[in-house]
Structure 1
């Protein structure tokens, strides 16, 4: 075997090895990202589910209170006068049915355990319902609002029972029941997931008379749409028990996520299953392997051609080596550079295209190091040119188990990269091979409130303690604003949740326009927002809060008209924890509400 052949075979083996490593790394990395996306989707659906239940409870508790305050209702309820109570409630029942056609139950319960009035069956009353339904018996014992999923003659429903108390005396309870499909339909509008309920077999009561159950393990599916039924049948054939899974059906991949459904005692009685089409990871792996194999074969072919032509001269060998190295770099889809830690030595085409340069020489005419683009992030994971008195490359090399990230903005677009580094040593010289993997879209989805587009509570929680630590360490001021939309429930009641959502987005946009880039606004929950103002004194924070209050007050909101907000304002104290600061802000906001709303309290 000639030397030329040996060299060619050796280099071909190197390419095969490198291609195998790169492909393996990419597949493993993509798998981690895929699993992270699935986890993010599940958390998003779970949060939407929990928020939906809490919104329903708050809404119908307020509805119960409003009904009891209707003139004559309390007297009729107190006197257990069915015939007087019905005409008083009937108009309000019709209004509530119009605003939510899936409201199937409104019932008044006497304290002695009998039914006073069923709006859905007004002719049936006086029966000892508390002896038949433990949820009713529970509120008669505890005299506290209770809610949860429960079966009944109307089917599976989410029920809310709220007590009626006059001068400390328990008179009875008001019950609302909403079809389970109302919850799944609402979540479908926000997340795109289709869903259905499953009940544990030993918990099935009056629904047991329904014949179209689909059983998976000890769970029975109910009200499965005809569109989903073949898919669920396929899932049943692949799984003996109910579990989160990704399945393939009819040339499409579906993610199936289960969230536990609890009764009024917070005991699991079943689950709600969410289904959504997702990308097929196995097909992605297959395509990546094919692409890598084709690229590898092309590279090997090119290598044989080049080596055959440049073998006779050393100069040609040097040229070949440079072309070979660059080809390997360009075969990697993510931006890749070679650096000595101070200046750029080599880069692949993806890197040059991202920074809008035609070659490395053009880049070096304006920049020595890619680290000149690094920006501060909201955690200590983000790289800067110097980290703890070390060059960024040396810092990564010395901390291989830390998750390193770089924040870079090009032409107004910010990208978050995961940064991984390998070290090449030759005598006293070191070279760093750095791979930048774009993780912006994943991070943005997990950290952004899907309705308003501002940071979500998870993002705020991650940033809050870090911001406090930085302020205390650098002995700088930190202002915080906690505000709430006044009478927002009335907006939802009068105009509906869609108009309410538009108002939330409008207010978030107004506030965001009037903040600095360094400020952070997050949706705390419902109609509550919180703002961090680094390097801001209490006086400066008060000024910002007052500007925001006036801006919102003067804005004309579509359909709604005028909206106001109440603000709690505080500045961080030297000996104050994050929990203490949040508690203080909550009290200040409550004080603003109690003292008349549409004001700033500090």
Structure 2
């Protein structure tokens, strides 16, 4: 029985390899997997390089914002600290109540203006390191700062300004502390100007590009009184980090991505995450306090289009894909040649029941010599994403419905073609350039406001060209194609002419 089965298997294998088609399929699969494995390795290296480049870029942008903030703060200090302020502070030791009142009245207007632009604190300290006047809480003063504020200690001892991040009694902020001296060079205390991370976030943040800051829970608990804990929330990234309540919605984005920061090592890092067909780059920039201790991270979440994140690797990837496609084409050409020849003769696109490229060219020849024609070229936006998310069947349904919509809104003599993939061409005989713009805008609007089943909302980008001096079809197409490219580049879902 065993011998019979073995002989039977050997006989079937021989028959299989006699079949050229089976050999061809096996060869194609082998080549495909070999090149796929190779390309995957290249892709992985390229993604790592892109992440490293993105991390450097984010760090440079954040560093520039912080340094600009420090320089601006120095200028504010120079503008606000005049002789009158020094004179008031000179009286603080003998008559603190009057000095505090005068100082508050003197700078309140400035404080309110700066508050609109992200100022968190304007705070004066006594020479022995106690709070003299907090403009955000003028009723609270006299409390000890030097026991838990490294920055205050540094300025008291060195009589030099200090800049940097530090967690205080209420919030973490980018602090700038300047020693104040009388005209006779007597040390009068310190002036502190601090800003929240919000001013940096607002300067950097764009749509689909988010920034927030997470702080070490242990450092916050050691510094901030329990009565002020309501300013913070635990971040989904890691239970040992807190986020200020005003930015807590950012952690919801992290939760949707399912991203966790395990065993934080306070190293700069960027992570690539794909979720629901979208690409995200999450960068972590450690925050170092004035004392040199790591206090947390500045986190950037950037939603990237796949074409952008893979742009750097396109050359190599395309090269190897061309090798694969060329190999497959050569191997299968003799099998599918007859089928391709038959199909190439057909003038109608089977899916959309519109003219295909060949049929389109044949029909346009009847009108092109009149010299009074227009051409609309349009392309479905993000069609690859529709196929990736919902499948090719849904993509086919979108193509069919687009064709049906256009047929309803063009004239009987107008020529509609599926020119390739998700690209369509509408040839408008005896139509002025101005009228073609109106027609294109109408088609764009109708498509945008139609519903496409699972795919939901679908948009398209349009390019227009018109004959001025009996230009050829090729010339018209080149102009319309260029305008279509401009429409895509300008943000899609628009008509460019």
Using structure 1 for the length normalisation, give the TM-score: 0.43
* Map 1:280-429 → 2, pairs under 5 A: 297-304=328-335
Answering whether residue 188 of structure 2 is matched by residue 171 of structure 1, we say yes
Q: What secondary structure, in the 3-state scheme, does the structure 2 residue paired with 1:204 have? A: helix
User: Could you tell me whether the CA contact under 8 Å between 2:272 and 2:281 is conserved in 1?
Assistant: yes
User: Could you tell me whether the CA contact under 8 Å between 1:143 and 1:163 is conserved in 2?
Assistant: yes
User: Could you tell me whether the CA contact under 8 Å between 2:123 and 2:135 is conserved in 1?
Assistant: yes
Please give the alpha-carbon distance, in whole angstroms, between the structure 1 residues aligned to 2:101 and 2:177.
22
Tell me how far 1:268 sits from its aligned partner: 0.6
User: Could you tell me whether the CA contact under 8 Å between 1:106 and 1:120 is conserved in 2?
Assistant: yes
Structure 2 counterpart of 1:103: 119
Answering whether residue 85 of structure 2 is matched by residue 79 of structure 1, we say no
Structure 1 counterpart of 2:233: 212
Structure 2 counterpart of 1:43: 56
Tell me how far 1:21 sits from its aligned partner: 5.2
Higher RCO (CA < 8 A, seq sep 6+): 2
Quickly say closer, same or farther: Cα 1:117–1:97, change in 2 above 3 A: same
Tell me how far 1:120 sits from its aligned partner: 1.7
Quickly say closer, same or farther: Cα 1:145–1:300, change in 2 above 3 A: same
Which of 257, 262, 267 aligns to 2:283? It is 257
Alpha-carbon displacement from aligned partner over 1:108-153 (angstroms, at most 9, x marks no partner) = 1121223222222223333333345332222111222222323334
Unaligned residue ranges in structure 2 (runs of 5+): 1-13, 93-98, 339-497
Tell me how far 1:249 sits from its aligned partner: 3.2
Tell me how far 1:207 sits from its aligned partner: 7.1
Answering whether residue 78 of structure 2 is matched by residue 52 of structure 1, we say no
User: Could you tell me whether the CA contact under 8 Å between 1:201 and 1:220 is conserved in 2?
Assistant: yes
Quickly say closer, same or farther: Cα 1:236–1:13, change in 2 above 3 A: closer
* Map 1:505-544 → 2, pairs under 5 A: none
Please give the alpha-carbon distance, in whole angstroms, between the structure 2 residues aligned to 1:183 and 1:218.
25
Alpha-carbon displacement from aligned partner over 1:72-112 (angstroms, at most 9, x marks no partner) = 111112222222222222222233224x1x21210111212
Structure 1 counterpart of 2:383: none
Please give the alpha-carbon distance, in whole angstroms, between the structure 2 residues aligned to 1:237 and 1:35.
18
Tell me how far 1:301 sits from its aligned partner: 1.9
Q: What secondary structure, in the 3-state scheme, does the structure 1 residue paired with 2:133 have? A: strand
Tell me how far 1:296 sits from its aligned partner: 5.7
User: Could you tell me whether the CA contact under 8 Å between 1:216 and 1:241 is conserved in 2?
Assistant: no
Q: What secondary structure, in the 3-state scheme, does the structure 1 residue paired with 2:333 have? A: helix
Which of 255, 274, 278 aligns to 1:248? It is 274
Quickly say closer, same or farther: Cα 1:296–1:226, change in 2 above 3 A: farther
Tell me how far 1:56 sits from its aligned partner: 0.9
Which of 94, 103, 122 aligns to 2:138? It is 122
Please give the alpha-carbon distance, in whole angstroms, between the structure 1 residues aligned to 2:143 and 2:250.
40
Alpha-carbon displacement from aligned partner over 1:155-198 (angstroms, at most 9, x marks no partner) = 22221111223455432211012122222222214x96312221
Quickly say closer, same or farther: Cα 1:203–1:86, change in 2 above 3 A: same
Tell me how far 1:36 sits from its aligned partner: 2.1
User: Could you tell me whether the CA contact under 8 Å between 2:237 and 2:260 is conserved in 1?
Assistant: no
Bigger radius of gyration among the two = 2
Q: What secondary structure, in the 3-state scheme, does the structure 2 residue paired with 1:43 have? A: helix
Tell me how far 1:294 sits from its aligned partner: 7.5
Tell me how far 1:274 sits from its aligned partner: 0.9
Quickly say closer, same or farther: Cα 1:186–1:214, change in 2 above 3 A: same
Structure with greater proportional helix content? 2
Alpha-carbon displacement from aligned partner over 1:16-44 (angstroms, at most 9, x marks no partner) = 66655554444433433332222211111
Unaligned residue ranges in structure 1 (runs of 5+): 308-602
User: Could you tell me whether the CA contact under 8 Å between 1:218 and 1:241 is conserved in 2?
Assistant: no
Quickly say closer, same or farther: Cα 1:237–1:94, change in 2 above 3 A: closer
Please give the alpha-carbon distance, in whole angstroms, between the structure 1 residues aligned to 2:148 and 2:291.
16
Answering whether residue 216 of structure 2 is matched by residue 200 of structure 1, we say yes
User: Could you tell me whether the CA contact under 8 Å between 2:236 and 2:254 is conserved in 1?
Assistant: no
Quickly say closer, same or farther: Cα 1:141–1:235, change in 2 above 3 A: farther
Tell me how far 1:237 sits from its aligned partner: 6.1
Which of 236, 239, 243 aligns to 1:222? It is 243
* Map 1:400-549 → 2, pairs under 5 A: none
Quickly say closer, same or farther: Cα 1:115–1:74, change in 2 above 3 A: same
User: Could you tell me whether the CA contact under 8 Å between 1:16 and 1:296 is conserved in 2?
Assistant: no
Quickly say closer, same or farther: Cα 1:233–1:19, change in 2 above 3 A: closer
Let me know the Cα RMSD of the aligned residues: 4.0
User: Could you tell me whether the CA contact under 8 Å between 1:12 and 1:300 is conserved in 2?
Assistant: no
Q: What secondary structure, in the 3-state scheme, does the structure 1 residue paired with 2:75 have? A: helix
Task: Say how many residue pairs are matched.
Answer: 300
Structure 2 counterpart of 1:337: none
Tell me how far 1:263 sits from its aligned partner: 1.2
Alpha-carbon displacement from aligned partner over 1:224-247 (angstroms, at most 9, x marks no partner) = 756543432255665533464222
User: Could you tell me whether the CA contact under 8 Å between 1:106 and 1:175 is conserved in 2?
Assistant: yes
Alpha-carbon displacement from aligned partner over 1:354-387 (angstroms, at most 9, x marks no partner) = xxxxxxxxxxxxxxxxxxxxxxxxxxxxxxxxxx
Quickly say closer, same or farther: Cα 1:6–1:131, change in 2 above 3 A: closer
Higher alpha-carbon deviation: 171-180 or 30-39: 30-39
Q: What secondary structure, in the 3-state scheme, does the structure 2 residue paired with 1:40 have? A: helix
Please give the alpha-carbon distance, in whole angstroms, between the structure 2 residues aligned to 1:161 and 1:56.
13
